[in-house]
Amino acid sequence: MIVVMKAGVGADDVQRVIERVAELGLTPHLSKGEFRTIVGAIGQRSAQVQQQLEQLPGVDEVMAISQPYKLASREFHEADTILDINGIRVGGPHVNIIAGPCAIESREVLFTVGKAVKEAGASILRGGAFKPRSSPYSFQGRGREGLELLKEAGDELGMPTITEVVDPRDVPVVYEFADMFQIGARNMQNFNLLLEVGKTDKPVFIKRGLAAPITELLMSAEYVLSQGNHRVIVCERGIRTFADEVRFTLDVSAVPVIQERSHLPVFIDPSHAAGKRDLVPALALAGIAAGAQGAIIEVHSCPDRALCDGPQAVLPHNFHKLMEQIKQIAEIVGHRVTLWGREDAKPRKALAGGWAT
């Protein structure tokens, strides 16, 4: 349930509610919005508990949260969550592009691609050090060595970095070298992993599972949020359907559905959905037009020699063209693209059906 405080309530009244929620055996979570302050009371709800909370000074009303995910819901946090990642604002009206090679293969490829995507306007550098693959014989990543290269590239380019973590035991080493955790589609319901990254203070980027309903994606986000880490981004990366013309089907409708239900930033992954580089631009633009607050795109300087997902990697010069198109679409729907940590395009009122700012 949520405890809605009266307008202009003092800090002492809010603290009193937080302490009482804890005394009642519930977990308190504070959410301060522009117009109201809410204390989430997560746990078993009862009429008696609700009545006790309603009588506390400064309380306006106590309401039940209808969704199974409590902290991720808009009922708990009405306004869009906007994250600050090394000075880059993610969420709300901001559009950020994460780009880089699927896997960290070599220093040369990582730095070449990193410089290219930064020049084109990407604000966050991606690169996989641990690569869970369908086949045990496929390239599995370079582990710690890859993480060290990713940190070196991020520091030199002045870009935050993101990489996938696949095992709870690897959380400390990934925390040491990367700025963001990525939870891959196959680990979306690895609950022990979600709990571990939830205990950290670094952003967590969760991809939707191959056959996961949106509710289950948001429940995975809830695992992270429940541990105190409120820096969560969710990503639509394509789901399995009857279609076999593409690797997966990008569920563009997931973007507005999630944004209606949750305050968390929503990204898309057109690379894994398409499986073919020629389709990536169209899917990326569709996602941004639907209101996505970012995209994660694979870029490689020589994809025919890539050790992982070469067919879906965009060439650097084509990525540059795509970034120009993304800026145009973002402006039309009332968003603004972040380039190299600064906002490039000024937002304007969105067209009908888009998102106003």
Tokens 């930064």 correspond to 118
What is the percent of the chain where pLDDT is above 90? 79
Domain borders along the chain are: 2-63, 83-343
Which residues have C-beta within 8 Å of that of residue 61, sequence separation ≥ 6? 4, 54
What is the percent of the chain where pLDDT is above 70? 92
| Residue of 271, 268, 272, 274 whose CA lies nearest to 288 | 268
- Decide which of 3.40.50.720, 3.20.20.450, 3.30.70.1140, 3.40.250.10 is the CATH code for 2-63: 3.30.70.1140
pLDDT at 349 over 50: no
d(CA 332, CA 351) in angstroms, rounded, equals: 7
Q: What is the pLDDT of residue 32?
A: 86
Q: What is the pLDDT of residue 307?
A: 78
Report the SS3 class of residue 301.
coil
Q: What is the pLDDT of residue 137?
A: 59
pLDDT tens digit string along 281-326? 999 999 999 999 999 999 999 888 877 878 899 999 999 999 999 9
DSSP letter for each residue of 55-115: TSTTEEEEE---SS-STTBTTT--SPP-EEETTEEEBTTEEEEEEE-SB---HHHHHHHHH
Report the SS3 class of residue 352.
coil
Q: How many beta carbons lie within 10 A of that of residue 140, not counting itself?
A: 18
User: Do β-strands 94-100 and 294-298 pair in parallel, antiparallel, or remain unpaired?
Assistant: parallel
Identify which has the larger pLDDT, 355 or 225. Answer: 225
d(CA 257, CA 238) in angstroms, rounded, equals: 15
| Size (the chain), residues | 357
DSSP letter for each residue of 112-132: HHHHHHHHHT--EEE-BSS--
List the CATH code of the domain at 83-343: 3.20.20.70
Q: How many beta carbons lie within 10 A of that of residue 23, not counting itself?
A: 10
pLDDT at 189 over 80: yes
The model's pTM: 0.89
Distances in whole angstroms, Cα of residue 44 to Cα of each of 24, 48, 49, 115, 234: 10, 11, 9, 51, 27
For residues 79-100, average pLDDT: 96
153 band by pLDDT with thresholds 50, 70 and 90:
very high
pLDDT tens digit string along 16-53? 999 999 999 999 999 887 778 999 998 887 888 999 99
